[in-house]
């Protein structure tokens, strides 16, 4: 595996959602560090989910043209295109690891781009799936 870090949709949304307050600050910091290190990677699924969420589902949605500009910027990162074989593989990953199909597709995409880590709020912090470490940037040890 490389030093690539796959960013899940929720972290990307928080990084651009000013109303997310504490989560915004943390996610922005994570994404900014990935820009500086040039290690961030995403997939077409992440870009698609990001667009829908940032323009429709947050407290202060962005205008479509603003969301498109953000997406254009992220095209500088490696973007894994999810093909039909990945769909089948994701279904196997989901079944084997008891994940939703969409989370399994994130894992499959991250594996395909040889990411060493997935930054996500949706998966279990510290878990290793298909050889990839899951890290929740909002995880707080109590």
Domain residue ranges in the chain: 5-135
Q: Mean of the pLDDT values across residues 70-84?
A: 97
- Domain 5-135 class? alpha beta
Q: What is the pTM of this model?
A: 0.95
Helix 22-37 and helix 9-16, axial crossing angle in degrees, nearest 10: 110
The mean predicted confidence, pLDDT, of the chain is 95
What pLDDT was estimated at residue 1? 42
- What percent of the chain stands above pLDDT 70? 96
Contacts of 82 (CB under 8 A, 6+ apart): 43, 44, 45, 90, 105, 108, 109
126 vs 141: which has the higher pLDDT: 126
What pLDDT was estimated at residue 139? 86
What pLDDT was estimated at residue 28? 97
């Amino acid at each position: 595996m490389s030093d690539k870090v796959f960013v899940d949709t929720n972290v990307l949304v928080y990084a651009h959602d000013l109303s997310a307050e504490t989560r915004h600050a943390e996610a922005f910091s994570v994404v900014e560090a990935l820009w500086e290190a040039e290690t961030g990677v995403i997939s077409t699924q992440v870009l698609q989910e990001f667009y829908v969420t940032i323009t429709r589902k947050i407290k202060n949605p962005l205008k479509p043209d603003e969301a498109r500009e953000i997406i254009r910027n992220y095209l500088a990162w490696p973007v894994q295109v999810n093909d039909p074989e990945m769909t089948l593989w994701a279904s196997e990953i989901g079944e084997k690891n008891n994940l939703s199909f969409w989370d399994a597709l994130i894992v499959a995409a991250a594996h395909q781009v040889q990411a060493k880590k997935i930054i996500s709020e949706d998966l279990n912090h510290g878990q290793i799936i298909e050889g990839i470490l899951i890290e929740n940037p909002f995880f707080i040890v109590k």
